[in-house]
Amino acid sequence: MTTFSEIATLLEGQAIEVPSWAYGNSGTRFNVFGTAGTPRTVEEKLADAATVHRFTGLAPLVSLHIPWDLVDDFAALRRYAEDLGVALGTINSNTFQDDDYRLGALTHTDAKIRQKAIDHHFECIDVMHATGSRDLKIWLAEGTNYPGQGDLRGRQDRLAESLRTIYDRLADDQRLVLEYKFFEPAFYHTDVPDWGTSYAHVAALGERAFVCLDTGHHAPGTNIEFIVAQLLRLGKLGSFDFNSRFYADDDLIVGAADPFQLFRILFEVIRGGGYGPDSQVAFMLDQCHNIEAKIPGQIRSVLNVQEMTARALLVDSSALAEAQESGDVLLANEILMDAFYTDVRADLAAWREERGLPANPMRAYLESGYQQQIEADRIGGTQAGWN
């Protein structure tokens, strides 16, 4: 069995990207509950994100969403973030909130609307130049609600053409990351419903196009770690959107619904070379804190990823390989479970303290007074949300 001290250094440098929108209000189609202290501006979102990083050391990057996070001067925003100790990360486009996109954006039958959606991505690329972001992430919220509504095949062809145009606009050090999603907001078909579709498109685009795997975007029962292993094997795993789910795209805190699944995913990430200093995989959160406190929700999330990463690193790989080779089903399973069942929390607390971080980031945050401060300060204005 591997010991914690053997993996301690491997935990250094772990970087989880937090989404700016996790600090704003979110909800379901039925209601959005507002909360005291919610940011009104991008700067306040960044301040909250930086707070998560300050207490955990795990979240040095912040994803932005355009147009939710549009500012006049992204270079200034970049400096603002850096002053807070964080950097700006992935840029997320949005083609689902404009009336023109009711029936599609990059796949729309109307060339003018397609061009509008493409132009929006050009704008995002401009933002990337200013922020120094590497990745343009495209979540295609389009699809159809009724059989016959759209031409499934024609939409694919238009999508391929639109993506090509966007891809060709990228600089050499920029990447396009294409997210797939099983359903929602479209209910009959989505234009990129599965990893296979995303893979087929990014494989056609070129070597700087990758797949984004959102852990909540699969059919019930899907073995997600298999997809992780497959995409790493194919060299096309670009990024994760971490969250967890019991039913649909619930966007709960990563690791909350099925901790063992998160463990298996991270084990395959490590197994397939996706973890560590040479990895090109971005590890983002994409969550909604509808009813729970947002900053603590993010702290819990990055800690969950860290704890499960530690457990996954603890797997005795050579013993496991030996058991697998010998066909000892129960022993191989036991070796994996041994690591999962190991309680790493005390070791991680010590590890943090050695690095100048609070042993218990959650308690430290709650006692810091930050929450009380923002609740006092952030009076008036319009709380940030999905708009």
Could you say which residues in the range 296-355 bind a second copy, by CB under 8 A? 296-297, 300, 307, 320-321, 323-325, 327, 329-330, 332-337, 340-343, 345
What is the footprint of a second copy within residues 158-177 (CB under 8 A)? Answer: none
Closest listed residue to residue 348, CA positions, set 14, 86, 84, 1: 14
Label the pairing between strands 61-65 and 237-242: unpaired
Determine whether 181 is exposed, middle or buried from the number of CB atoms within 10 Å of its CB (0-12, 13-18, 19+): buried
Residue 7, SS3 per DSSP: helix
Locate tokens 């060299």: which residue? Answer: 235
| Position among 5, 9, 72, 99 found at the interface with a second copy (CB under 8 A) | 99
Interface characters, 20-39, with a second copy (x: CB under 8 A) = ------xxxxxx-xx-----
Dihedral sign, Cα of residue 235, residue 66, residue 127, residue 122: positive
Applying CB under 8 A, does 361 fall inside the site for a second copy?
A: no
Cβ 93 to a second copy shortest distance, Å: 13
Return the number of the residue (131 or 304) whose C-beta is nearest a second copy. Answer: 304
What is the footprint of a second copy within residues 245-304 (CB under 8 A)? Answer: 245-248, 250, 252-253, 256-261, 264, 268, 271-272, 290-293, 296-297, 300
Return the number of the residue (325 or 377) whose C-beta is nearest a second copy. Answer: 325
| Position among 36, 76, 109, 381 found at the interface with a second copy (CB under 8 A) | 109
Cβ 158 to a second copy shortest distance, Å: 12
Cβ 305 to a second copy shortest distance, Å: 14
Cβ 167 to a second copy shortest distance, Å: 18
The site for a second copy, by CB under 8 A, has a size of: 102
Q: Using an 8 Å Cβ cutoff, are 186 and 228 in contact?
A: no
Measure Cα distances from 308 to 249, 267, 353 in Å. 21, 9, 19
What is the footprint of a second copy within residues 178-217 (CB under 8 A)? Answer: 182-185, 187-189, 193-197, 199-200
Cβ 228 to a second copy shortest distance, Å: 9
H helical segments located in the chain: 4-7, 42-56, 74-84, 111-131, 152-169, 195-205, 224-234, 259-271, 294-313, 317-326, 329-341, 345-354, 361-368, 370-377
Q: Using an 8 Å Cβ cutoff, are 68 and 22 in contact?
A: no
Return the number of the residue (87 or 366) whose C-beta is nearest a second copy. Answer: 366
Closest listed residue to residue 191, CA positions, set 224, 221, 226, 149: 149
Q: Using an 8 Å Cβ cutoff, are 227 and 238 in contact?
A: no
Cβ 78 to a second copy shortest distance, Å: 28
| Position among 97, 318, 372, 373 found at the interface with a second copy (CB under 8 A) | 97
Cβ 54 to a second copy shortest distance, Å: 19
CA gap 49, 55 in Å, rounded: 10
Among 17-25, 48-56, 129-137, 229-237, the segment contacting a second copy (CB under 8 A)? 229-237
Measure Cα distances from 163 to 172, 176, 205, 345 in Å. 16, 9, 8, 44
